[in-house]
């Protein structure tokens, strides 16, 4: 069970690295795939958080991770409705996600 709690930590860092790569290359496909990965990371974090012990650090980490997933979902919605490259929402996801990943790593330790 202890190892399962590290899955969101690794997944969010991987998704954010993937997002950064997509933003640097200005690739729509990579950006959309990484935003989807951030949303899925937020979804899998909920049952993992619910099954483990709750501390102040883990609660803050999950709230930050869910906020990141919410902004990523909004960025996907913006792209879906406008068909424009979601640069500003993706950058917002990246910045919020970096703060969330710091909280997630602190909670996992």
Angle at which helices 7-25 and 87-108 pack, to 10 degrees?
150
pLDDT band at 109 (very low <50, low <70, confident <90, very high): confident
Neighbours of 46 (CB within 10 A): 14
Q: Which residues make Cβ contacts (< 8 Å) with residue 77, sequence separation at least 6?
A: none
Q: How far apart are CA 57 and CA 9, in angstroms?
A: 13
How does residue 1 score in pLDDT terms, banded at 50, 70 and 90?
low
Tens of pLDDT, residue by residue over 79-98, are 999 999 989 999 999 999 99
**pLDDT number for residue 9:** 86
Q: What is the pLDDT of residue 108?
A: 74
Sequence spans of domains, the chain: 4-108
State the Cα–Cα distance between residues 25 and 54, nearest whole angstrom. 39
Closest residue by Cα to residue 86 from 18, 31, 34, 46 = 31
Phi, psi (deg, nearest 5) at residue 40: -65, -35
pLDDT digits (tens, 9 = 90+) for 26-81: 999 999 999 999 999 999 999 988 887 778 888 898 999 999 999 999 999 999 99
């Amino acid at each position: 069970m202890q190892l399962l709690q590290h899955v969101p930590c690794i997944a969010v860092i991987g998704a954010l690295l993937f997002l950064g790569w997509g933003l640097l290359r200005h690739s729509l496909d990579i950006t959309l795939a990484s935003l989807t990965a951030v949303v899925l990371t937020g979804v899998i974090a909920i049952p993992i958080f619910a099954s483990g012990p709750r501390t102040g650090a883990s609660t803050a980490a999950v709230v930050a991770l869910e906020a990141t997933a919410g902004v990523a979902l909004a960025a996907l919605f913006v792209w879906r409705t406008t068909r424009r490259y979601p640069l500003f929402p993706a950058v917002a996801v990246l910045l919020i996600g970096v703060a969330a990943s710091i909280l997630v790593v602190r909670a996992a330790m």
